[in-house]
A and B are shown apart, each in its own frame.
Chain A
C-alpha cells in the first residue's frame, strides 16, 4: 500500500511537471527512483560505520573459514595427515575438494582446461582481501580515531591473505581490485616475491597506525616476519618479531553454540576429518577418517614413536574403528578435539623459530638456544645442535613441523626448503608409497596449488602461473 501511495503521489507530481520538463531538457529529476530492493543492502548502509565494520567482520570471518579448510588441505597435501581408506565396503564416499590433495587433475570450463590442483579457498581468500580493503576505505572516510584499530586490523588481515596466497599458490597470482567506489581493476600475474613484498607493505601500514589492539599488532609483526622469511630476509624477519612475548598471539575463536553461522569447519564436521567419536564408531556412509602415519611418502616426518609417549605439540591417540563390523586400529591427531578450541594464526613460538633461523643463517650458535627456549616452554628437554649444516636445517624444520602441526605452515616450509635451501623437491615432499584408495599407489607430482579455473577463463590479464616450481 505504501509503495503505491508513494508512487501515485510521485506520479502526480511528475505528471504536473512533465510539460515543463519537455522544454527544459533536464529530465533527471523526473526519472529519479528509489534503490532497488533485491534482498541486498541499501548503499547508504554500507557507507555507514555499521556497514564498514560489517565489511571488516566479513573479511575476518572469511579468513577464518579459509584457514579452517586450509589447515586440513595442507595437512593432506603434506605429511601431516593422510586420508584413510575405508576398507573394501567403501562406497558412496565423496570428500569433495579434499579427495585428491596431491593429484593434479584437469579442470575444464567451456573451452578452457587447466591441469593442476585448484586451491579450494581461492575465492574466499580473495574475497577476504577485498572486503578488508573496502572496509578500510569506508572506515577511513569516518575520520574517527576510534576506528584506528580496525583500520590497522584491515591492513593486517589483507597482508595475511596475501601472505597465504604467496605461501600456498604458484607464482603469478593476480591481486585484482574492486574499489568500494570505482571501477573493477583486473590484475595481471604477481610473482611470489612481489606477493611477499606486498604483504610486508600491508603489515608495515598496519604497524604505522597507533591503536590499542595487541592482537592485530601481533598479527602484523609475525605476519611481516613470516613474509620476510618467505623472501629469505632472515635478519629483517627476526627484527620484525623481536620481543614478541609468550602471551602475545592472534587466533581464531569459535562459538560452538552458534550453528547457523560460519564457524570452524573442523567443528561442524567433527567426525569426518580430524577426530573420531567412539560413540559413533561406524559413522555414516560418508565418513572418512584422517590418520597420522609416520614417514608418509618416505620423506614424511616421524610424528610419533610410541602413541602413549608423545610430543605435546603433536598429540595423537590410537583408536579402534569399526568398519562394517571389522575393527581396525588407527592413529589420530588430538591437537584439535573440541569445537571451541582456538585456532592459532600468529604466536610466540613462530617468533622464536624465526629468530632461530635468522641466527642459523648467520652461523650464530645461539640458534639452538632459541630452539631449546621454545621447547622448554612446553616441558620438552633440550636438544643439541648437530654438526652439519644440513642436519641443522633438518632439525630446525623438524621443530617447525612440530610447532606448527595442523596450522597450514608445512607447505610453505617445503617450498622454502626447496627455494632457499636448494633441496630437491623430491627429497622434501612425500613421494613414495601412498596408502590411500586402491587406484593410487604413489604420491602425485604437484608442488603448489593453482588458482581456480575461473581466473584463467575470465581474467584476460592472467594467462597462467609464472612458475609452478616451489
Chain B
C-alpha cells in the first residue's frame, strides 16, 4: 500500500504543484492595493489609534472573575496587550461586569470604576493600567518619566524583537516586543544614554534628555554586525538564536555559495562553504562519483562515520555510494544547511548523532505574487596532472613455473622470477582516455502564495558527460575492424539527474501551521569501463596466455595487434523520494507542539553487463562472453517526531530570566532490502553448453529492519539576555541495543555574552565577545546483524544420502553496546576591530568509549576457514579538534565591499585500548596512534653492490619492524577566501585551500617510479623496495579551489524585462593544484570511500578543472 503511495509520489507532487500554481494565479489576480495595505499594516509604527482596532466591539460577561483572567480575556478578544503591575491590583479583586457591543475603552472604564486605577493607551495595541489620582500625583512628584520607543533594522526597516534596552542611570534592561517596541519608566531626568543591544547587530547608543515626569519616544536604527550569533537554528527547545546555543552551529545559505562557486550537489556546497571541521572527500571526478562527508574527523573504527542528515525534519539516508545519497538533494531547493557539531546534537537527533548532524531546510514560499527564479549553468571541465610511468614486470613462479605478471612484492619475496619489464606511459596521448567534461544545469524555482498558504517548487535538471572517453588508439583499432559502436560509446561516463522539490506551507488557523515537503530525484548514471582497459591490464586481470603480448607496449600501440578488451557497462538508476509533514500547533499561548511525520525511500538499480571484446588483427571485434549482475537496493526510513516546548511566563522575573523547557520523542525505523541477481549470457556459437542462453544465476537478498526510539527533556535558561544554560537528557532504545543497556545521553552547556555585561568596558578592539562551553554524550549503535548469530543451510552426504546441514557462520555478539562518545567543547565568538572582524574559535574533544572493532575469531572456535570476524566493544578513540574561522569586512562602503575569509581545522585522533598492535586487514591500530595510522618498514641502508644501477632486494637493508610514518588524514587544513563587491553590481571571489602532510598509498604498485629504472636515483629505488606492497607517499596540497566574477544587472536594465533580479557569472573551480605528489590529485581517489585511508588506484580521474557560465534571473 505504502509502496504504491510512494510510487505515486510524483502524482502527489504534481497535485501540490497544481495547488501551488492555482495559488499563484489567485495571488496574481488579487488587487495590488490589498497587498499594499497588508504590508502597510505590518509596517505601521505610528502608534496612533488604529481605526480598525477602535471599531471593534464585543459583548462580555464577567462574574466574580479574577482580574488577571478578565484582563487576559480582554487582551485576547481585542488583540491588544494590556499591561499592569500586580502590586497595584488587590489580590481579591473580582470583576463583575456585563457589556453588550462595547469597545474596550468602555469595558475597561466599567471594570476600573470605583478603583484607584485607570488606563492609558501607549500604542495602538498596548494599554497600560496605571494608578489614578493620588498614585499618579505621587509619580508626578517623583518626576517619573516614561521612555518608549522602537528599534528597527537599518536595512529592512523592520522592528527588531528581543533588543535589550539599557538607559544610563536606570537599573536593569527591558526587551523590545515583536514589533521592536519598548517602554520603561524613569525617576531620573536630564541627560541620559540609551543603549540598544542585539546579537547580530552593532550596539547602538543614543543620547536623550528625559523630561521630568514627561514622556519621550525614541527611534533606534541598528545595523547588522559581522557576527552570525543572531541566526536562528534548530534545537531541541525549538528555534533558537545561535547565541543561546552553547555549541557552535554553522549555518550555510546555499544560494550564497552558488553565487560564487560552481555548485551542482550538496557535497559541492559543503566543500565550497569551507566550514572548519567539515571535510568533503571525493571518490573521483566522474559524474556521480561518491563523496564522503566527515565532521570533526573520525572516531569510529568499524561503524559508520557518516553524519546524520535531516531534511525538513525527517531522517534521510546519507550513506556513501554512487551516486551519493546526499547528492540526490537538489541544492537549488535548499534554503539553509545547518551543521551541528558536538554535544548538542544527540538530544534532538539521538543515537548516531555523534558524527555530527546536517540539517537541511528546503525553501519556503513567500507570500505575495508568484516569483520565478530561473538559472542555467553550462560548464566545461578537464582533468590535469600526469601519471607516472608504469613498469610492468612479467615472469614465472620459481616452483610452479606458472607464468604471471611479476608484481614487485612477488619479485622481492622470490615468488616471481622476472624476465622482462615493460614501460607503459599512461600519459601517451594515443592511450589517453580523458576528454572534456560538459555539463548543463537548469533550475526553475517558483514560489508565492497568500498569508494562509504559500508554496515553493524547485525543478532542476543536470546532464553531465564525464571526462572519460575511449582512447584514440582503441577507437582507431575498433574503427579499422568495423566494430559497431553504440551511441555515446566513446563517452562512456555520464549522468542525468532530475529533481523536483515542492513545499506547501499552510496556515489553516492562527495557531496551526502545516508544512508539507515532497521531493523526488531520478538519477541515471552510465558507467562503461571500456576506457579503463589499462586498469584491467595493469591490475593483472588478463589471461596468462596473452600476458606477454599485452605487456608489450608495442602491441598496445599497434592497431592491428591482437588485443582483448575487457569491458563492463554499468547503468545505474537511482531514485529518491521523500515526503514529510511538519505540524506546528500552539494550543495555548506559548505552548508549541511540533510534530513531524515523514518517510524517505531510496531505490537503486545497478545492472552490470560484463563482456570481453576480442579484436584480432583485421578481423571484426566480437563480444565473446558476458555476465550480468543486477542489484536492487531499497531503503526506507520512517520518521515520527513530536515535541512540546513552552517558554515559561515568569511575569516580572521574565525581564531577567527566561526558561524554555521542552519534552519530545521520536522514532526512526529503517527498512532495507537488497536483492542481487547474477546472470550469464553467452553468445551463440561460443564454447559453452549454454550457448546464447541467459542463465539465471544466484539470487541473493538481504532484508532487515532497524528501529530506534527515544525521548528527551531539555531546557534553555536565559539570564539577563546574556547568559544561557542549555541542558537536557535523552533516553534511547533501539532494535540493536539490548534493553539492559538503555542509553541515556545527558548534555549541559553554557553561553555567556560577556561583552554585554556592565563591567565590560566598551571598546572597539573587542566589540562583542561570547564565551561558550558544552558537554554531552552521543552514540553510534551497532548493526542488528552484528548482534545476531548467523546460521546457514548447506548440504552433505551422510550415509550415502544427501542431507541438509545447518552450520553456524558467525556467533554474533549479543553483548554489544552502542559506541558512546563523550564530547566537550569550548569556544568563543567575537567581533573585533571596529566590528570589522568576526572570529569564531572552538576547541572540541571527544572520547569514543566502547568503540566497536571487528575482531577476527580464531579457527578453534569452529567457524571454518577465512577470517570470520565479529564486533566487540573494546577500543577507545579520542578526537581533538580546533576550529577557527575569521571573516573580515575590510572595506565596507557604498561602492566597495571586501570580505576576507579564513578557516583553520586542526584534527587529530588516537586509538586506545586495542592493545599493543591490532591488525584489521591492512590497517594497523596501535594504542596511542591515530585511527588512520600508516606504518612502514624503514630503509636502514642500501648499496648497489653489482654496480648495475639498479637496487635489488638484497642490496637494501630494511628494518625488521614497521614503524609509524604518518596518518592518512591531514592534521590540519586551512582555507582562504576573498570576495570583492563593487558598486553593488560586480562581485569577484576567490578561494584557496591547504591540507597539511598526509600519507597517500599508491595501491596500484605498477604506478610507481624507480623500480627497474636505471635512471631513477638510488634513494628513490630504495624507497620503492621499501614499499613491499604499497608505496606510501607523504603529500601536502595547496589548491586554488575557485574563482568567480559575477555581474548583477542593474535595476534600470531589469525594468526592460520586468525582472526582479538578474546576474551572469563566470566561475572556475579546482583551478590549480600545487603539490609534490607523484600522481594527479592526492585528495581524490576511490579508495577513500571504502576506508578512512587514502590510496590512489591511479586510474580514477581526479576532479576536473571546471569553468562555468551561470545565468540567473528572477521574475
Contact = CB atoms under 8 A, between A and B. Distances in A.
Interface of A: 1, 3-5, 7-8, 10-11, 14-15, 18-19, 21-23, 25, 27-28, 30-41, 43, 45-46, 50-51, 54-55, 57-58, 60-62, 64, 90-94, 99, 109-111, 122-124, 126-131, 134, 173-178, 183-184, 186-187, 253-255, 258, 260-264, 340, 437, 439, 451-452, 454-455, 457-459, 462
Given A37-B704, A91-B400, 7 more contacts: A7-B2, A28-B733, A40-B792, A123-B865, A126-B861, A131-B807, A454-B858
B790 A38 contact: yes
B815 A183 contact: yes
B73 to A, nearest CB: 30
Contacts of B671: 3-4, 7
A41 B704 CA distance: 13
18 contacts: A4-B1, A25-B711, A28-B733, A30-B733, A37-B702, A41-B790, A50-B806, A55-B807, A58-B794, A93-B402, A111-B917, A111-B919, A127-B863, A131-B808, A253-B799, A254-B800, A255-B802, A455-B859
Nearest to B961: A111
Given A14-B667, A31-B734, A262-B796, A58 B807 contact: yes
B709 A31 contact: yes
Contacts of B865: 123-124, 452, 454
Contact of A261 (B733, B796, B866): B796
B121 interface: no
Interface string B274-299: 00000000000000000000000000
Interface string B853-867: 001111111111111
A-B CB proximity, top 6 nearest: A61-B796, A130-B862, A54-B806, A36-B704, A459-B858, A253-B800
Contact of B640 (A5, A14, A123, A262): A14
Interface stretch (B220-228, B781-789, B941-949): B781-789
B642 A19 contact: yes
A43 B709 contact: no
Contacts of B705: 7, 33-34, 36
A129 B402 CA distance: 38
Interface-central residue, B856, B862, B863, B917, by most chain A CB under 10 Å = B862
Contacts of B870: 184
B862 A126 contact: yes
B448 interface: no
Interface string B732-766: 11110001000000000000000000000000000
B870 to A, nearest CB: 8
A263 B795 CA distance: 10
B801 interface: yes
A261 B707 contact: no
Contacts of B815: 183
A313 to B, nearest CB: 24
Contact of A36 (B402, B700, B785): B785
B91 interface: no
B399 A30 contact: no
Contacts of B665: 18-19, 21-22
Contacts of B638: 7, 11
B3 interface: yes
Nearest to B922: A110
Contacts of A10: 669
Contact of A177 (B399, B739, B807, B861): B861
Contacts of B735: 31-33
B860 A174 contact: yes
B913 to A, nearest CB: 14
A32 to B, nearest CB: 7
B793 A5 contact: no
A173 B813 CA distance: 25
A437 B2 contact: no
B401 interface: yes
Interface string B692-722: 0000000011111111111100000000000
Contacts of B867: 454, 458
B797 interface: yes
B785 A38 contact: yes
A22 B642 contact: yes
A458 B868 CA distance: 10
B367 interface: no
Nearest to B737: A31
Contact of A39 (B700, B734, B804): B700
A187 B860 contact: yes
B791 interface: yes
Contact of A262 (B399, B797, B808): B797
Contacts of A458: 855-858, 867
B788 A22 contact: no
B432 interface: no
Interface string B130-168: 000000000000000000000000000000000000000
Contacts of A64: 796-798
A64 B794 CA distance: 14
A54 B862 contact: no
B805 interface: yes
Interface of B: 1-3, 398-403, 597, 636, 638, 640, 642, 663-665, 667, 669, 671, 673, 700-711, 731-735, 739, 784-785, 788-809, 811, 813, 815, 855-867, 870, 917, 919, 924, 962
Contacts of A176: 858, 860-862
Interface-central residue, A21, A46, A58, A129, by most chain B CB under 10 Å = A58
A110 B920 CA distance: 9
A58 B703 contact: no
A64 B801 CA distance: 13
Contacts of A454: 856, 858-859, 865, 867
Contact of A30 (B2, B709, B805, B808): B709
A452 B863 CA distance: 13
A458 to B, nearest CB: 4
A357 to B, nearest CB: 31
Nearest to A11: B638
Given A27-B709, A261-B796, A18 B642 contact: yes
Contact of A22 (B3, B663, B784, B801): B663
A462 B707 contact: no
Nearest to B809: A40
A261 B790 contact: no
B710 A27 contact: yes
A3 B860 contact: no
Given A4-B1, A458-B858, A22 B711 contact: yes
B796 A58 contact: yes
Contacts of A94: 400, 402
Nearest to A14: B667
Interface-central residue, A36, A39, A173, by most chain B CB under 10 Å = A36
Nearest to A51: B806
A463 to B, nearest CB: 12
B788 A126 contact: no
A18 B667 contact: yes
B862 A58 contact: no
B185 to A, nearest CB: 45
Nearest to B601: A4
Contact of A455 (B700, B858, B917): B858
Contacts of B663: 22
B1056 to A, nearest CB: 54
Contact of B3 (A1, A31, A40, A58): A1
A173 B802 contact: no
B808 A130 contact: yes
A34 B801 CA distance: 35
A57 B796 contact: yes
B866 to A, nearest CB: 8
A34 to B, nearest CB: 6
Nearest to A5: B1
B919 A33 contact: no
Given A25-B731, A37-B704, A130 B861 contact: yes
A57 B861 contact: no
B675 to A, nearest CB: 11
A23 B400 CA distance: 71
